[in-house]
Amino acid sequence: MPYFLQGSPFSFDGKVVWIDESRKTRIPISPKIRLELIAQAENICERCYNYFENKILEIHHIDGDPSNDDSENMMVVCANCHRELTN
Ligand SMILES: [Zn+2]
């Protein structure tokens, strides 16, 4: 499974899973940014618009560059959509 769990105190009541398919490694992303993005998305995947109660959402970098933390480069997606986006 290409899942890399970010060990951090920021796994609130669910799991925030950070996946970077291109590098297959953990990429640090500001926990603050991630929290804000998921909060803004209100636990709704921005691609399929399904609601994910346990905040099991992921951050997808639209341009494929995980170091580009511009808010316009990131979208909050569910695991299924993230898999499709990165394949
Ligand atoms: Zn989705």
pTM here is 0.60
Q: Could you list the residue range(s) of the whole structural domain that residue 33 is in?
A: 4-86
Centre of ligand 1 from the C-alpha of residue 58, in Å: 10
CA of 65 to the centre of ligand 1 (A): 20
pLDDT for residue 9:
37
pLDDT of residue 65: 86
How many Å lie between the centroid of ligand 1 and the Cα of residue 50? 6
Q: Which of 35, 29, 37, 20 is nearest to 76 (CA)?
A: 37
Tens-place pLDDT, residues 23-74: 555 556 677 777 788 888 999 999 999 998 866 898 999 998 888 878 789 8
Determine the pLDDT at residue 79. 92
Domain count, the chain: 1
Residue 77 pLDDT = 95
What is the Cα–Cα distance from 61 to 25, expressed in whole angstroms? Answer: 14
Q: What residues contact 47, with CB distance under 8 A and at least 6 apart?
A: 75, 77, 78, 81, 85
How many angstroms separate the alpha carbon of residue 17 from the centre of ligand 1?
14
